Amino acid sequence: MRLYLASTSPARLTLLRSAGIEPVTLAPDVDEHAVAAEAARVQGAPLTPHHVVELLARAKAEAVSRAGNAADAAAPIDGLILGGDSVFVIDGVIYGKPHTPEKARERWHNQRGRTGQLYSGHWLIEQLGGAPGRAVGAVAVADVTFADDIGDDELDAYIATGEPLFVAGAFTIDSLGGPFITRISGDPSTVVGLSLPTLRRLVSGLGYSWPSLWNRTGAL
């Protein structure tokens, strides 16, 4: 069974590869801010973190599904499409990607020595021969605790690498940010941006075995 990843995240791709899966990566054409803003307008209230990540994961998977089902698509999608999204929450405030060094530094000054929650949303669409079918979704949450002795010089050096600018919460666990994290409560892969146990349950929920996705040398 082929897995299509509706994401350009290097971390999600690396995580799937480490689990024996080489997905087809397809960039979803989604304006995340506009999708979330419209949902909040319709709801008449701010979205919860759970709602945000599931909504955006679904939007990304459905965008790739539509593109793969278009008449001018290079080849019809035949497999499972996975959309994902992540946000970090501390003090009840939702944080996505900071994008600028100034915002990243502000967030780190606020979160060092403290614990926040990383929410990762998943949406899986069964699309066989280009025809979309069943879909399932789920959200995973993990608590992340940061070291309380991180110096400003360390933060400046970390921010200067550019890594924290384009990840939810301005940190990673699987790369340069790992040494600044002292504890994870929950599935660690959730913090990377994709909960592998959650994905396995979704795949099983659609009637497929997890090993059927293995297609990398060494996993067969």
Q: Is residue 89 part of a domain?
A: yes
pLDDT at 220 over 60: no
Q: 113-167, pLDDT tens digit by residue?
A: 999 999 999 999 999 988 999 999 999 999 999 999 999 999 999 999 999 999 9
**Domain assignment of residue 220, yes or no:** no
pLDDT higher than threshold 90 for residue 69: no
Token pair in block for residue 14:
């690396």
Catalogue the active-site residues. Answer: 85
Residue 20 within any structural domain of the chain: yes
3-state secondary structure of 177: coil
Please report whether residue 218 resides in a domain. no
CA atoms of 108 and 110, how far apart (whole Å): 5
> Residue 30's domain is classified under what CATH number?
3.90.950.10
CA 22 to chain centre: 17
**Domain of residue 25, residue span:** 3-213
For 163, which DSSP code? G
What is the tally of structural domains in the chain? 1
Q: What is the pTM assigned to this prediction?
A: 0.92
- The tokens for 49 are 């973190």
Closest to 36 measured CA to CA, from 83, 94, 90, 89: 94
**DSSP strand pairing (3-6 vs 79-90):** parallel
Q: Is residue 78 situated within a structural domain?
A: yes
pLDDT at 68: 80
